[in-house]
Amino acid sequence: MDGDANVQSFDLINNNTVQSGDTVLIKLPNGETRSVKVDRDSTISLGRIGSFYADELLDKPHGLTYEITGKTLKVLPPRTLQEVEDTDATNELINDGELVQPLTLSEIEALKRSGTHASDIIRTQIEKHTNYSLKNEYSKEKYKQRKEAKYSKTFTVVEPTLFNVCEYWYNKDQNRIRDLRADTLSQLLNMANVRPGGRYIAVDDASGLVVSGILERLGGEGRLITICDVDCPPAYPAMVQMNFKKEQVSSVLTSLNWATAQEDYVPIGASLESTSGVIRSERQRIRLDKRRVVSDALTSAREELFAGEFDGLIIASIYDPFPVVEMLSPYLGGSASIVVQSPYAQPLTDLQAKMRTSPHFLGPSITESWLRRYQVLPGRTHPTMNTTGSGGFLLHAIKV
Amino acid sequence: MWSTDREVAAGDVVIIWQTRDIIQPLLITPGKDLNSRFGHYRHADLIGVPYGSKVGSSNGKGFIHVLRPTPELWTMALPHRTQILYLADIAFITSWLNIRRGSRVIEAGTGSGSFSHSVVRTIGSAGHLWSYEFHEVRAEKAREEFNRHGMADIVTLTHRNVCKDGFTVTDTVDSVFLDLPAPWDAVEHAKKALRKDCTTRICCFSPCMEQVLRTVTALNDAGFTDITMYETLLKPHDVHQIPVPISLSDIVDKLKKSEFKREEKRLRQIANSSKRKRDSSVDKDDGSKKAKTDDDTSNTAEIGPAAVPVTIQSITETTPVPSQPAKVNLSKPMQEVRGHTSYLTFARLLPISFSPQMPDLDENMVKSDTASSS
């Protein structure tokens, strides 16, 4: 097979199994997804679902579904779609408000406490249910699903793909990621032509989701300089669930802030030399060395930015986009892509109007992303009832 | 892939941007010329020009931009041999299939290579794309293109009907993308080609719902799980610079002014006509008629001159000086847009070696409820 050695070394970076120290996304039966740190020799608690030994997950591939039994895990076989047989039942004889379930809440609680398996509890409920047989088959399915979401002690380890991590953040707190939906994020990365070995400038006020996307696309090869609004390296919390290897990040990512990214910026701060010219103690030497490392890193990041010829500029920022584009686009090479994301149309509308009067930008255009998901079940295929209103807006232009 | 040098060199494929709608690829061949309605250009003159440059024509008829190809520009510029995939679908598929640096991917069919170029860019030299095309001439065209674009090391292109003959690799790829008229016939083959030591993914691209339903059944029968389906589109927005609408009070004043003028004109006409009448029939007229017209004119005198100065003054004061009217930037979705491309059916294949055989929770319940309902 072609490129075998390459492929193997890549499996090390693109790890396909859960490792100690990873943060994994766990999907519960009720559809909720939680972010959980997996450390060797620890216990992971999932609240009502129960708890289990973290070691049970280690070295297992992502994507599996487990059932908690005691503190251990049992892998469940993949579920396939169930064909629903049509019967004559029509729900015609079912009325609201009738008492149909003689099993009381306390009886159910007692069953749960005694360790009865979820499927047995549900079976008991179905047996006692006075109208179950009157339900049509679709209603029966829904009933079972509802009960399962309530009682089953199962969960699925969601694969830490960019798509899934984006979806997790979108459902958890979409404001913090500037309403950046997975489809829009994927368009942004393609429009910006992010590729292994490329060099990019990014402004990410979307909790690091954009940075995560770029880092994953770079795969440890290339360069990413981010400009942030804090004076220490920015926290990009979305990177946590991506479980990047240290090498994949440290060799690629550097950050400057809006002040240090100014060409006329002059650092003010403690001197790199001892004031007396002589180093008096080991402690002082270590302190000066540390200072020098930080200062050198800053100087080289600034030099690299100002040397320019970057392949792309990606902006998902809370700041007025035009000054950001004006300030950073001179560091782009000819024909490089500029992509600006916003949850609102107006800032990009103004940006487009300004950019098109400038000779430096070719074809600035605005798009809104549209996405529709379908439930696909035999005989029950339709668009999902609830959906997101908009995927946000992107502006793309070419630096000329 | 394409040149990453700063300047254009002989043998490079460049993208010539003439307008937003006229974007074409060009293989720089010294000795050749490019003629378009935006002028005349010699290829040799483009050599050494930095990518992203604006170049004026030798006959002064216009200018072009010389751009570095990207898969996205290629999608806009490529010669169509088939229906092609566009950015929204390509990006979404890439993301859902988790295609990234080092991924090993299968694509069938190759078609016009729109998706292939994007995948090759994303996986880089550490990854690999196996592309299959059943149409021999199209396969050859694509092969030439891949060679010309420096992708030959990353793509293995095979002329083959995969529905009949399957794929050329086994237990190897991370994801499969099927853009075929009958993807359900290739699902079992795809399963063989996918690696089994981790979760892998498949996407089937079909324009019709009937195709989706058959594909879903085939995927389910083959043991794929988490079957889901999406539609995705890009809605382009147009930006318009329009004058700021005048304020409502301005309109009120304008309407008042025009009403006043109308009234003024009416009264003038009445005055004129009664004057004419008076002049022509001054001898015949009796006293009562005369008195009435006198009344009319006195009315005019009352309403007109008394009301007029005030109104006119207030109008002239509030009317803005007609200098440069302020403009505002507004955007709206374009009217004529693509409304549907295809349905994207996705599914996962879980690593079988980690799934022990055991009675299914669901099967238990299916049995139990047949018992209870009978």
Least confident of A74-83, A85-94, A109-118, A178-187: A85-94
Q: Are B115 and B107 in contact (CB under 8 A)?
A: yes
Q: Do B329 and A349 touch (CB under 8 A)?
A: yes
Q: How far apart are CA A25 and CA A63, in angstroms?
A: 10
How far is the alpha carbon of B94 from chain A, nearest alpha carbon, in Å?
8
Q: Where are the alpha helices (DSSP H) in A224-377?
A: 239-242, 246-250, 282-307, 321-328, 345-355
Q: Are A242 and A212 in contact (CB under 8 A)?
A: yes
Block residue for tokens 């251990």: A72
Span A54-93, pLDDT tens digits: 999 999 999 999 999 889 999 988 877 777 676 777 777 7
With H, G, I as helix, E, B as strand and everything else as coil, classify residue A58.
coil
- Closest chain A residue to B328 measured between Cα atoms? A350
Span B295-307, pLDDT tens digits: 444 444 444 444 4
pLDDT at B305: 46
pLDDT at B284: 55
What is the DSSP code (8-state) at residue B236? E
Name the residue among B95, B85, B118, B106 with its Cα closest to residue B2: B118
pLDDT at B308: 47
Sheet containing B53-56, strands listed edge to edge, beginning at the edge strand earlier in sequence: B22-27, B13-19, B63-67, B53-56
Report the relative pairing of strands A393-399 and B343-349 from DSSP bridges.
unpaired
pLDDT of B68 > 80? The answer is yes
Q: Who among A159, A345, A373 is closest to B331 (CB)? A: A345
Whether the CB of A151 is below 8 Å from some CB of chain B: the reply is no
For chain A, the average pLDDT equals 89
Q: Which two tokens stand for residue A257?
A: 């802030």
pLDDT of A294 > 80? The answer is yes
The average pLDDT across A147-153 equals 81
| B210 burial level (CB within 10 Å; 0-12, 13-18, 19+) | exposed
* Structure confidence at residue A285 as a pLDDT band (50, 70, 90): confident
Q: Are A313 and A201 in contact (CB under 8 A)?
A: yes
pLDDT at B258: 95
Q: Who among A63, A217, A349 is closest to B199 (CB)? A: A63
Whether the CB of A77 is below 8 Å from some CB of chain B: the reply is yes
For B279-295, the DSSP string reads HHHTTT--HHHHHHHHH
pLDDT at B282: 57
Whether the CB of B116 is below 8 Å from some CB of chain A: the reply is no
pLDDT at A144: 80
Least confident of A83-92, B173-182, B255-264: A83-92
Contacts of B211 (CB under 8 A, 6+ apart): B181, B182, B183, B343
- Closest chain B residue to A154 measured between Cα atoms? B361
Q: Identify the sign of the CA torsion A53, A59, A63, A66.
A: negative
Q: Are B160 and B13 in contact (CB under 8 A)?
A: no
Which residues does chain B have within 8 Å of residue A359's beta carbon, measured at their own beta carbons? Answer: 54
- Which of B 186-245 lie inside 8 A of A, CB atoms? 197-199, 209, 212-213, 216-217, 220, 223, 225, 227-237, 239, 241
Q: Which two tokens stand for residue B169?
A: 């690799």
Name the residue among A209, A216, A217, A202 with its Cα closest to residue A177: A209
Q: Are A367 and B234 in contact (CB under 8 A)?
A: yes
Q: Which two tokens stand for residue A222?
A: 């290339």
What is the DSSP code (8-state) at residue A159? -
* Structure confidence at residue A218 as a pLDDT band (50, 70, 90): very high
Contacts of A148 (CB under 8 A, 6+ apart): A29, A118, A122
| Residue B249, H or E segment | helix B248-281
Q: Are B254 and B312 in contact (CB under 8 A)?
A: no
The average pLDDT across B94-122 equals 97
Name the residue among B88, B151, B162, B164 with its Cα closest to residue B123: B151
How far is the alpha carbon of B72 from chain A, nearest alpha carbon, in Å?
7
B197 residue type, one letter: D
Q: Where are the alpha helices (DSSP H) in A308-387?
A: 321-328, 345-355
In Å, the largest CA–CA distance within chain B is: 123
pLDDT of B111 > 50? The answer is yes
Q: Do A353 and B217 touch (CB under 8 A)?
A: no
* Structure confidence at residue B286 as a pLDDT band (50, 70, 90): low
How far is the alpha carbon of B103 from chain A, nearest alpha carbon, in Å?
8
Q: Identify the sign of the CA torsion B53, B57, B63, B66.
A: negative
Please state the separation of Cα B114 from the chain's center in Å.
16
pLDDT of A325 > 60? The answer is yes
The average pLDDT across A360-382 equals 93
Whether the CB of B331 is below 8 Å from some CB of chain A: the reply is yes
For chain B, the average pLDDT equals 86
* Structure confidence at residue B311 as a pLDDT band (50, 70, 90): very low
The average pLDDT across A116-122 equals 82
Q: Which residues pair with A61 in a beta bridge?
A: A17
Least confident of A24-33, A200-209, A273-282, A305-314: A273-282
Block residue for tokens 């909720």: A32
Does the pTM surpass 0.90? The reply is: no
Q: Do B125 and A196 touch (CB under 8 A)?
A: yes
Q: Who among B95, B223, B329 is closest to A163 (CB)? A: B95
How far is the alpha carbon of B138 from chain A, nearest alpha carbon, in Å?
24
pLDDT at B365: 39
Give the best residue of B234, B327, B332, B337 to mutate against chain A (max A CB count within 10 A).
B234
How far is the alpha carbon of A106 from chain B, nearest alpha carbon, in Å?
23
Q: Do A82 and B333 touch (CB under 8 A)?
A: no
Residue B324, φ and ψ in degrees, nearest 5: -65, 115
pLDDT of B201 > 50? The answer is yes
Report the relative pairing of strands A393-399 and A332-342 from DSSP bridges.
antiparallel
How far is the alpha carbon of B19 from chain A, nearest alpha carbon, in Å?
9
pLDDT at A36: 95
pLDDT at B174: 97
Q: Which residues pair with B333 in a beta bridge?
A: B237
pLDDT of A277 > 90? The answer is no
Q: Which residues pair with B25 in a beta bridge?
A: B15
pLDDT at B319: 52
Q: Do A133 and B372 touch (CB under 8 A)?
A: yes
CB atoms within 10 A of CB A365: 19
Give the best residue of A335, A360, A394 to mutate against chain B (max B CB count within 10 A).
A335
Q: Are B84 and B154 in contact (CB under 8 A)?
A: no
Q: Do B354 and A349 touch (CB under 8 A)?
A: no
Which residues does chain B have within 8 Å of residue A119's beta carbon, measured at their own beta carbons? Answer: 361, 364-365, 368
What is the DSSP code (8-state) at residue B244? P
For B114-155, the DSSP string reads HHHHHHHHHHGGGSEEEEEESSHHHHHHHHHHHHHTT-TTTE
Whether the CB of A259 is below 8 Å from some CB of chain B: the reply is no
Q: Who among A79, A187, A381 is closest to B91 (CB)? A: A187
Q: Are A361 and A338 in contact (CB under 8 A)?
A: yes
Give the start-end residues of each E strand in chain A. Answer: 23-27, 33-37, 43-45, 51-53, 65-69, 72-76, 154-158, 199-204, 223-228, 253-257, 310-316, 332-342, 361-375, 382-383, 393-399
pLDDT at B322: 55
Q: Which residues pair with A26 in a beta bridge?
A: A34, A157
With H, G, I as helix, E, B as strand and everything else as coil, classify residue A370.
strand
pLDDT at A301: 95
Whether the CB of A84 is below 8 Å from some CB of chain B: the reply is no
- Closest chain A residue to B129 measured between Cα atoms? A2
Q: Are B47 and B67 in contact (CB under 8 A)?
A: no
**Looking at chain A, how many residues does it have?**
400
Report the relative pairing of strands A393-399 and A361-375 from DSSP bridges.
antiparallel
Name the residue among B198, B178, B233 with its Cα closest to residue B346: B178
Give the best residue of B237, B328, B363, B370 to mutate against chain A (max A CB count within 10 A).
B237
CB atoms within 10 A of CB B174: 25
Block residue for tokens 């004559």: A88
Residue A304, φ and ψ in degrees, nearest 5: -65, -40
Q: Which residues pair with A393 in a beta bridge?
A: A342, A368
Whether the CB of A127 is below 8 Å from some CB of chain B: the reply is yes
How far is the alpha carbon of A274 from chain B, nearest alpha carbon, in Å?
44
Whether the CB of A3 is below 8 Å from some CB of chain B: the reply is yes
Query: Predicted ipTM?
Result: 0.90
The average pLDDT across B47-75 equals 94
| A112 burial level (CB within 10 Å; 0-12, 13-18, 19+) | middle
- Which of B 307-326 lie inside 8 A of A, CB atoms? none
With H, G, I as helix, E, B as strand and everything else as coil, classify residue B206.
strand
Block residue for tokens 């299968």: B106
Q: Who among B65, B98, B241 is closest to A163 (CB)? A: B98
Q: Who among A14, A335, A365 is closest to B67 (CB)? A: A335
